[in-house]
Amino acid sequence: MNYTTQMDAAKKGIITPEMEIVAKKENITAEELRERVARGSVAIPANKMHKAISPEGVGEGLKTKINVNLGISKDCTDYSIEWEKVKMAVDMKAEAIMDLSCYGKTHEFRQKLIDECPAMIGTVPMYDAVGYLDKELADITADEFLEVIEAHAKEGVDFMTIHAGINRRTAQIFKESGGRLTNIVSRGGSLIFAWMEMTGNENPFYEYYDKVLDILAKYDVTISLGDACRPGSTHDSTDASQITELIELGILTKRAWEKNVQVMVEGPGHMTIDEIAANMKLEKRLCHNAPFYVLGPLVTDIAPGYDHITSAIGGAIAAANGADFLCYVTPAEHLRLPNADDVKEGIVAAKIAAHAADMAKGVPGARDIDNKMSDARRRVCWDEMFQYAIEPEKPQRYYNELPPEEKHTCSMCGKMCAARTMNKILAGEKVDVK
């Protein structure tokens, strides 16, 4: 193999096996895909050590992908529960899983993910640092932070969130600009900010960014440039802190590409509907059309228990205007660790948002399954309708809870079903409604 990363291969004119697989999934030519990977508008996160992966592409002209967050916390240490969520995510065809475990020795669970899971695997090494090193935050050294990154890379993690944009300069702007209602809501970003404040040192991921990139390039890990200053409320969106950090992330994107490290850029957060399109275009401009990975955006702050819906609304708008990768949000957001039912609801909501956006932006083949569903509805063919559904179990259960008197109707309209009426009358049959 005479290349180090997917980007390195693409720049050399080499079409890799991973590119072949992704091109087939996306209904485009391998050469079209190679060109996009070469210029950085598409990333194929696929660590050389992740042998179980089914490669996916994220970025320009491709289907919108979704990510599922899960992992252990101090208040929930049962890995078997998290593994059930993993199986659900894979069964429901989520393209990525992020292990956000932040308590104890997480290696065993992460290694099982990499050994068995076909989805892209992501981590946030900053979360794992405290447990991995068994030290207080202020006592962790820059070298030790890099040690955790290398440990995750060696294990086979495909992409890592690295909060390199919250350096001393952007942190100072955050403090000077003021006016935020929710401060820094990024868990990793807040820890880095606290570490800089307690130690007086520069962000180690920024200060030693070249060393970080060397580690990632060695294993072909995609860097997901974390947005420490993403807005955690609609009040804080598109403010000086968010935009200043975004400018830094654009600079860091080019530096990564110079070392043939693939890049994704992370974005908001909470944001009102009228700001979303402009933010997507701003990221693409400032970050040189790198793939954009967004959490939501959540379009209102007052729906705890229903934030999978606020996120799906924002995610659909974001993806239709250029976002490439949606991080799911569950009904448990802001409240607790999600259970299996929450995870399912979050995945379905994110998939709806992603698919709606793909139709809006004309992704090849995106509309085909909707046309099949519509044709099945015209024919009142329930088995086909369930087959084409994003999640078949719920619609099938709903239908069977109150079965109609006549099979080719539902209990809402019965014999007055519009589809039944039209099918009969156009076939020259008498329409009976009694």
Binding-site residues for Zn(2+): 270, 334
Closest by Cα among 100, 43, 41, 94 to 70: 100
Which residues fall in the annotated binding site for [4Fe-4S] cluster?
A: 410, 413, 417
Tokens 């992966």 found at: 53
Tokens at 61, concatenated: 């002209």
State how beta strands 222-225 and 159-162 pair: parallel
DSSP per residue, 213-277? HHHHHHHTPEEEE--TT--SSGGGTT-HHHHHHHHHHHHHHHHHHHTT--EEEEE-SB--HHHHH
- Reduced to 3 states (helix: H, G, I; strand: E, B; else coil), residue 45 is coil
297: left (phi over 0), alpha (psi -120 to 50) or beta: beta
- Nearest 5°: the CA angle 73, 162, 169 is 120
How far apart (Å, rounded) are the C-alpha atoms in residues 183 and 186?
9
Distances from the Cα of 193 to the Cα of 24, 139, 163, angstroms: 43, 14, 10
Closest by Cα among 262, 365, 367, 353 to 64: 353
Which residues fall in the annotated binding site for substrate?
A: 69, 98, 127, 163, 186-188, 227-230, 266, 293
Which residues fall in the annotated binding site?
A: 69, 98, 127, 163, 186-188, 227-230, 266, 270, 293, 334, 410, 413, 417
- What per-residue string of b and e applies to 114-130 under the rule 16 or more CB within 10 Å gives b? beebebbbbbbbbbbbb
- Nearest 5°: the CA angle 121, 294, 332 is 80
Tokens at 195, concatenated: 């570490």
Tokens at 182, concatenated: 């929710």
Find the helix or strand (DSSP H, E) in which 295 lies.
strand 292-295
Please count the helices (runs of H) and the strands (runs of E) in the chain: 19, 10
